[in-house]
Chains A and B, each alone.
Chain A
Amino acid sequence: MEATETAVQTSVRICAGTGCAASGAWKVMAAFEQALGEGAGGRVSMDPGGCSHPVKVGKSGCQGFCQMGPLVTVLPENVFYTGVKAQDVPEIVEKTLGRGEIVERLLYVDPATRKRCKGTADIPFYQRQTRFVLKGCGHLDPESIDEYLADGGYQAARQAFTAMTPEAICKTVLDSGLRGRGGGGFPTGRKWEFARVQASPKKYVICNGDEGDPGAFMDRSVMEGNPHSVLEGLMVAARAIGADKGYIYVRAEYPLAVKRMRRAVEDAERRGILGDNVFGSGQKVRCEVMEGAGAFVCGEETAMIASIEGLRGMPSPKPPFPAQSGLRGRPTVINNVETLAQVGHILLAGPEAYRQLGTATSPGTKTFALTGHVANTGLIEVPFGTTLREIVMNIGGGVTNARGKIDKNAFKAVQIGGPSGGCLTAENLDLPLDFDSLRKVGAMIGSGGLVVMNSGTCMVSIARFFMQFTQRESCGKCVLCREGTRQLLQLLDDVIEGRGTAHTLELLEKLGRAVQLGSLCGLGKTAPNPVLSTMRQFRQEYHEHVFEKRCRTGNCKALLRPEINAQKCKGCGLCIKACAVGAITGEKKKPHRIDADLCVKCGACAKVCNLGAVEGIAG
């Protein structure tokens, strides 16, 4: 009954993902509640002036366009407002809700065409996406199980428990070609089948929500935006392998995801969806949300199991695989959030329908976190096989330069797959992205972080950044990972600080390969990838650092040689006053000079010089 009411009435959806919340979505929500009258639990219904129908105010999950937040959508007209502030709310209520007019200034303006876009259908960022996993994130209230149920939620789980055998579920998932979205790309159906055939009275399923890759937030958005879809996938997995207990391991840095997953589990238990007799099948499934404690390595299956057991999250050798002997020595299946969120759709639509999207070996869609120097940052979803050019130039709206303006020539590289991945350059722009094509060019899809970098980015510094990350996060178990990453980091520091020689580069490559070979888990095996990948693709930049003691981007401070161009300098003395260490000398109206021994390369002189006479350093 409520569902039909929802369909016809006007509703306001405020994006309540982490991004929009940070930009002030809660204040906007409060302003709507105030303007339309107090309501219970974030929903209000009343007749605003001139408007004869009730208006429902609700929140949605992350809609992906985080940079433009807070986002407000007015349904059913589908008017999409960006950057909404609390003070804009009375105008929206009066004009859009009251008179059906559009508040032009709050519409998104496409930076390429300067065109105002009324709804998401007009915005290139959304137009070119295929939102499959993220479909529910935009229009469902993530804290309402009723909305999820009204949208066809838990039908797949019901079907799995009442009308399908575990074998049939494994076969359907295998036939769909679904591959694990956590990075490895292992066929999910095969993993389930492997666990299903194990004879054990106790089995476990774990949802891996420990999304630790810096620059990736796909799983966070799905857990925040549509937690029930993850839970439903977990239930299907439990049915498929015969597990009665599930864990959802969520990263500690994602408090909102933890809260919403917990709420989803509680609500599902209250409705009897989770419990001792799931859909009358007699099978029991219980679920627990566990918050991680800030260790990147826990994203590795065996380390995650150790963490759930209350131990240090250190990986152990495989085999035995978790599907044979995992949590507490029992067969355990661990699936990524995004993998599980696809399962419900696959069961309902069938494996053939799923294979319509994506490529032959990588069916379906993939969510990516598109960030860095790109006009539209945010969460996107595209079919596998989409080219990098389409993602960066069309969905992302192009690369931005140091001043934040779109610049056709600014593209330098895309870092894909986080600390385990590699870089893609301009020559890879037309590469269709899928698991196998990326592996061929020495990168990996990883969990899906895409960080776009412009020409002002120093690739040696980027390699160092990732090396510092893996060095800090190495659990310390394998000597080559523990000590090797530290040595690699120091070698990179040598390059960046001007101590590098030809031997340094040789050692970097040799040690990088040794760390790959001598480490047990994915963290160590892939830790040298960013270094090796940038060394392969940006060799020239490494050479400039080592042999010419020069960083073309000016990022590496130790290599900066600030000088005053005597031709440009008029001897005004501004730089002398600005220099905190007294490194600049010179008579008035005569060219000044910088004493390289005293200079701390702070850039203060370049900043104050009106003539651009200070060269070799950015102001």
Chain B
Amino acid sequence: MQPCQTQAAPTSSDLRSEKFVAVCSILDRHAHQPSRLIPILQAIQAVYRYLPEEVLTFVATSLEVAPARVFGVASFYGHFALKPRGKHVIRLCDGTACHVKASIPILDALREKLKLDPEHNTTEDMLFTVETVACLGACGLAPVMVVDDEVHGLMSPQTALEVLDGIVKAEAA
């Protein structure tokens, strides 16, 4: 487990390189194996909450593969975010069970409240990202909404907005 070389004693201009310390340890953990690309990107996303472009380039160089391969994988899988996401990620399930039990009105209500649309899913203050997901496998509780890692079942537009208000209040406090 040899760490990659990094600048010692980071100054403000060195913060960018310090940013890669976590990436280096992730790459080391996966022995710089290109076949481990997906777990590597997952681990990076767990740290940065999204995949910054410069990090992807850095990963490509470190693994000695073309940046196109890394970008190709990062853009292929729905789990990877290439844009920064909000502090709280709201994932609304739009699987079959949730869909027939009216998940879309909940999505509409959330988007209206947060002034979001299909092209813009993160609020300007970077507090919320609203996404849909194909199925969370909690169909017995449809419609389902996941806020960060907490699953909320049997939602309605009203209860969804109440959950949202709760977070806004907690953030303001």
Contact = CB atoms under 8 A, between A and B. Distances in A.
A9 to B, nearest CB: 31
Range of interface residues on chain A?
35 or more
Given A215-B97, A310-B34, A371-B97, A294 B79 contact: yes
A253 B137 contact: yes
A377 B72 contact: no
Contacts of B4: none
B96 A66 contact: no
Contacts of A235: none
Q: Which of A65, A254, A372 has the largest count of B CB atoms less than 10 A from its CB?
A: A372
Interface in A401-430: 415, 418
Contact of A418 (B36, B96, B137, B144): B96
Contacts of B153: 19, 22-23
B116 interface: no
B38 interface: yes
Contacts of B97: 214-215, 369, 371-372, 377, 451
Contacts, number: 138
B21 interface: no
B148 to A, nearest CB: 11
B35 interface: yes
Nearest to B75: A312
B142 A294 contact: no
A66 B141 CA distance: 7
A69 B135 CA distance: 19
A294 B80 CA distance: 8
Contacts of A69: 140-141
Nearest to A67: B140
B38 A293 contact: yes
Contacts of A310: 33-38, 73
A296 interface: yes
Interface in A292-311: 292-296, 307-311
Contacts of A418: 96
A594 interface: no
B96 A415 contact: yes
A255 B149 contact: yes
A372 B95 CA distance: 11
A489 B112 CA distance: 25
Given A212-B135, A215-B135, A291-B42, A377 B78 contact: no
A449 B100 CA distance: 14
A123 B76 CA distance: 45
Contacts of B150: 22
A372 B101 contact: yes
Contacts of B34: 310
A18 B133 CA distance: 16
A19 B69 CA distance: 38
Contacts of B72: 312
B73 A217 contact: no
A373 interface: yes
Contacts of A23: 141, 153
A194 interface: no
Nearest to A473: B134
Contacts of A415: 96
Given A311-B69, A371-B140, 17 more contacts: A22-B141, A22-B153, A215-B96, A216-B137, A220-B137, A293-B41, A294-B79, A308-B35, A310-B35, A311-B73, A312-B72, A312-B76, A313-B77, A369-B139, A372-B142, A377-B142, A451-B100
The 7 closest A-B pairs by CB, nearest first: A66-B140, A215-B96, A214-B95, A294-B79, A294-B78, A22-B151, A217-B137
15 contacts: A18-B137, A22-B138, A213-B135, A214-B94, A214-B96, A215-B139, A253-B136, A254-B137, A293-B77, A294-B78, A308-B35, A310-B33, A371-B96, A418-B96, A473-B134
